[in-house]
Chain A
Amino acid sequence: SQLAEENSWALSVHEGESVTVNCSYKTSITALQWYRQKSGKGPAQLILIRSNEREKRNGRLRATLDTSSQSSSLSITATRCEDTAVYFCATEPNSGGSNYKLTFGKGTLLTVTP
Chain B
Amino acid sequence: DPKIIQKPKYLVAVTGSEKILICEQYLGHNAMYWYRQSAKKPLEFMFSYSYQKLMDNQTASSRFQPQSSKKNHLDLQITALKPDDSATYFCASSQPGLGGQDTQYFGPGTRLLVL
* Residues of chain A at the chain B interface (Cβ within 8 Å): 2, 30-31, 33, 40-45, 48, 50, 88, 90, 92, 97-107
Contacts and interface: CB of A to CB of B under 8 A. Distances in A.
B50 A107 contact: no
B66 interface: no
Interface in B46-62: 48, 50, 55-56, 58
Interface in B22-67: 31, 33, 35, 42-45, 48, 50, 55-56, 58
A100 B96 contact: yes
How many residues of B sit at the interface, in one of the four size bands? Answer: 20 to 34
Nearest to B103: A45
Contacts of B103: 33, 45, 48
Interface string B77-103: 000000000000010100010011111
A31 B109 contact: no
Contacts of A44: 105-106
B32 to A, nearest CB: 10
B80 to A, nearest CB: 25
B42 A31 contact: no
Contact of B45 (A40, A48, A101): A101
A101 B55 CA distance: 9
Given A88-B43, A105-B42, A107-B42, A42 B109 contact: yes
A53 to B, nearest CB: 11
A42 B33 contact: no
Contacts of A90: 43
Nearest to A96: B100
Contact of A99 (B44, B100, B106, B109): B100
B101 A50 contact: yes
Contacts of A98: 50, 55, 96, 99-100
Contact of B101 (A42, A43, A92): A92
A31 B100 contact: yes
A103 B45 contact: yes
Contact of A102 (B4, B45, B55, B99): B45
